[in-house]
Every structure is written in C-alpha cells, then in structure tokens.
Amino acid sequence: MPASRVSLLAGGGAALFVAACAPEEMPQATEGRDLFMVNCAVCHGADGRGNGPMASEMDPAPSDLTLIAARNGGELPVAQVLSKIDGYAQGGITGPSMPQFGDLFRGDLVPFDTGDGILTPTPRKLVALVEYLETIQVAE
C-alpha cells in the first residue's frame, strides 16, 4: 500500500476517534479533584502545596503542585506533568519518590492536546488530574 494511503487511513482513524468523543465526555477539573483527593492529597496535601499528612515522613518532600506553572515560565508543562503522574519520568530518582500511577489510571481514552497541537489518545483520569492541577496554579 502506498505511504500516502497509509497516512490518509491513519489520519482518518484519528479523525474518527476524535469525532467519537463529544465535548461533554471530556473530563472536568471536578473529576480530577476527586482523583487528587483520593490518590495525591496524602502526600501533596488537600491544597496541593506539599503539606499532606505523609509529607513530614518523606525525603525528598512532596512538591508544591500549585507552583508548577510558576516554575515553568507561567505555563503548565502538560506533557511533563502527564509523564510524572504516569511514572514515565521517574528514572534516576533515588529514595522515596512519587509512585507510578500509570497502571492505576489506565482506562478510557480521550483526545487530548499536550501542547503540541496534536490530539493524542490519553487516559481520561490523567487528563482529569491535569485539568484539576491547572486550576490550582498560583503566581509565585
């Protein structure tokens, strides 16, 4: 099959995938907040500032998640945040570190732009968490 036809077929499949997800099906920050409270608040705190009940026992201490954008020029580095939550970006860390949530958050996929302009099938729960993290960002 010619490469142009494969490209066209792949593009058509992506278009069908995106079309199958109506906007009302996209995760909202409230869904992400619920996931955060169950999975993240014990370390990062209910407010995301790194002051959860387990924080004093951890070395390194949990990050202040309200300053992610401030530490990155005012923009939330969505792809990096997704990688950190998923566990992909854990290499080289010694001692207690952030758990890998990739397997826990697998499931339904939604089309999500991580900042490169391309809608990529991404686990719904990961998108919901990113949507919530975006709402708690503060200027430093």
d(CA 138, CA 57): 26
Predicted confidence pLDDT, tens digits, the chain (140 residues): 444 333 333 444 444 444 455 445 889 999 999 999 999 999 999 999 999 999 999 988 999 999 999 999 999 999 999 988 988 655 544 445 778 888 888 889 999 999 999 999 999 999 999 999 999 999 86
DSSP class per residue in 78-93: HHHHHHHHHTGGGTT-
Number of separate domains in the chain? 1
pLDDT of residue 89: 59
pLDDT of residue 45: 97
Residue 140 forms part of a structural domain: no
CA distances 70 to 55, 74, 98, 127, Å, are: 22, 5, 21, 20
Residue 124 forms part of a structural domain: yes
CATH of the domain at 77: 1.10.760
pLDDT of residue 44: 96
Q: Which domain holds residue 82?
A: 24-135
